[in-house]
A and B are shown apart, each in its own frame.
Chain A
Amino acid sequence: MSVHQLQPNNWVDAYADYLFNYAVVRVSDEEIAKDLIQETFIAGLKSAKNFKGQATERTWLIAILKRKIIDHYRKINSKKGKAEVRLQYNASSDSDGDWLEEQVADPSSIKENDALENEELGLAIQSCIDQLPVNQRQVFIMKTVRGLSTEDICKEMNINPSNLWVMIHRARTALMGCLNQNWFTL
């Protein structure tokens, strides 16, 4: 097994988006997620000497991020005081949702699974995007995720539209191949 090495100069370009997606779905707040990622990178630098090279950089950083997310929840919980547990005994209101049958999970509902699946899908796509060459990645994200117009992207990247469509084509083809390996619905 090859030994992995840390390259902190590459961290932001290589992993920031992946870590960001990982954090956002867990803390449901973009600003908090950004802070957590910054803390993760800094903690990573501090404990760089403990990195044994057995895991990949990304796995190692994710492990740190997980700790940071747990710490975050601890912090907000201690601020709020103890978690509240509420049970309602008011039998006076026979309104909707009071019946036990209405409170159990709906086995035919696939909403919860959908959310989970979409989160995994998001991470699978993100790690495929991370493998694209930098300029293709930039153009693809501007076009597809941020939804900028062709004109604006051409101006910003200083390219002409046919360049743009070539890059989009390469990016999309690569993503199809990558998702084909990592996600089975394509």
Chain B
Amino acid sequence: MISCDEAAVICNKSQYKEASLSEKLKLKLHMLFCSTCAVFSKKNKQLTSLMDKARIYVMSDLEKKALKNKIKEKL
């Protein structure tokens, strides 16, 4: 049996499709007995689908640095 901490790591990995098959099986087994992790897993999946649904735009670090410098110049 794996601990809840391990289960959480596997759950997070599987949100990025980085959990192996054996890890996923261990997680499934764990969740049969642990409702806390089952709830966490459900919410985690929902967060993933929300992140997919929303288009999030980010500026690159370089662009932010340039922007910061511009502000500094004007201060």
Where the two chains meet, the residues of A that have a C-beta atom closer than 8 Å to any C-beta of B are 8-9, 11-13, 16-17, 20-21, 24-25, 30, 33-34, 37-38, 41-42, 45-46, 118, 121-122, 124-126, 129, 141, 143-146, 150, 162, 165, 168-169, 172, 175-176, 179, 183, 185-186
Q: How far is the CA of A144 from the CA of B46 in the complex (A)?
A: 14
Task: Fill in one digit per residue for B25-69: 1 if any A CB lies within 8 Å of its CB, else 0.
Answer: 000000000000000000110110011011111110001100110
Is B58 touching A11 in the complex (CB atoms < 8 A)? no
Is A12 touching B75 in the complex (CB atoms < 8 A)? no
Interface on chain B toward A: helix, strand, loop, or mixed SS? helix
Pick from A12, A37, A45, A179: contact of B50, CB below 8 A. A179
Report A-chain residues with C-beta under 8 Å of the C-beta of B53.
Answer: 118, 121
Pick from A37, A141, A176: contact of B47, CB below 8 A. A176
User: How many of B's residues come within 8 Å of A, CB to CB?
Assistant: 29
> When A12-B67, A42-B70, A146-B58 are in contact, do A165 and B13 touch as well, CB less than 8 Å?
yes
Nearest residue (CB) in A for B53 is A118
Where the two chains meet, the residues of B that have a C-beta atom closer than 8 Å to any C-beta of A are 8-9, 12-13, 15-16, 18, 43-44, 46-47, 50-51, 53-59, 63-64, 67-68, 70-72, 74-75
Report B-chain residues with C-beta under 8 Å of the C-beta of A24.
Answer: 57
Report A-chain residues with C-beta under 8 Å of the C-beta of B72.
Answer: 9
Report B-chain residues with C-beta under 8 Å of the C-beta of A12.
Answer: 64, 67-68, 71
Is A34 touching B75 in the complex (CB atoms < 8 A)? no
Q: How far is the CA of A162 from the CA of B6 in the complex (A)?
A: 11
B16 CB to nearest chain A CB (Å):
7
Report A-chain residues with C-beta under 8 Å of the C-beta of B59.
Answer: 16-17, 20, 34
Report B-chain residues with C-beta under 8 Å of the C-beta of A11.
Answer: 71
Q: How far is the CA of A45 from the CA of B51 in the complex (A)?
A: 33
Pick from A16, A125, A179: contact of B56, CB below 8 A. A125
> When A144-B51, A179-B47, A185-B50 are in contact, do A21 and B71 touch as well, CB less than 8 Å?
no
